[in-house]
Amino acid sequence: MDEIEKAIRKIRNGVFVITFNLDGKHYGMTSAWVNRASFKPNILTVSIGKNRKGCEELLDAEVFCVNILGNEHLEIARHFGSTDGKNLNNFKDIEVKEMEDGSPVLENCVGAVECKLVKKIDAGDHVVLFGEILNGAIQDGESMIFDRNEFS
């Protein structure tokens, strides 16, 4: 691993599941690259690999929810973070409610913000989505910090 990669890995991220509803079908994908981008309006960014099977659908959905996982939600992070695509759309045994603007929100999370897609920017092998926050919800619990050792 080169010095740049070592340095960049010192940036801390949380662990999130991006969920959305497209034509009545629920999608979910684990994501660590989520950041706050603006106070007014309240905007965050989500960076999604262009090769992710749900990427196009997410762009089509235009509304999505960032579910903030807690320390006890490792299995959920792994479930929605499978790279074989088998878990995409797999909400079996996953309890969800609905946010005000229709996104599925995980019962097992410490917080959630529902966003409207307001802009997207091409960023190499990823696309960065800018989501203006429409709604928020919180539950008790500490947010998980991404630790790659838990996902290897």
Please report whether residue 109 would count as binding ligand FMN according to CB under 6 A: no
Measured CA to CA, the distance from residue 32 to residue 49 in angstroms comes to 12
Q: Which of 19, 21, 31, 67 binds ligand FMN (CB under 6 A)?
A: 31
Nearer to ligand FMN, 55 or 137 (CB): 55
Please report whether residue 20 would count as binding ligand FMN according to CB under 6 A: no
Nearer to ligand FMN, 61 or 77 (CB): 77
Alpha helices in 62-100 (DSSP H): 74-79
Task: For residue 24, give the amino acid letter.
Answer: G
Question: Please, what is the minimum distance in Å from the beta carbon of residue 97 to ligand FMN?
Answer: 21
Tell how strand 96-98 and strand 25-31 pair up: unpaired
Please report whether residue 129 would count as binding ligand FMN according to CB under 6 A: no
Nearest to 28 by CA among 118, 74, 110, 92: 92
Q: Which of 26, 49, 116, 134 binds ligand FMN (CB under 6 A)?
A: 49
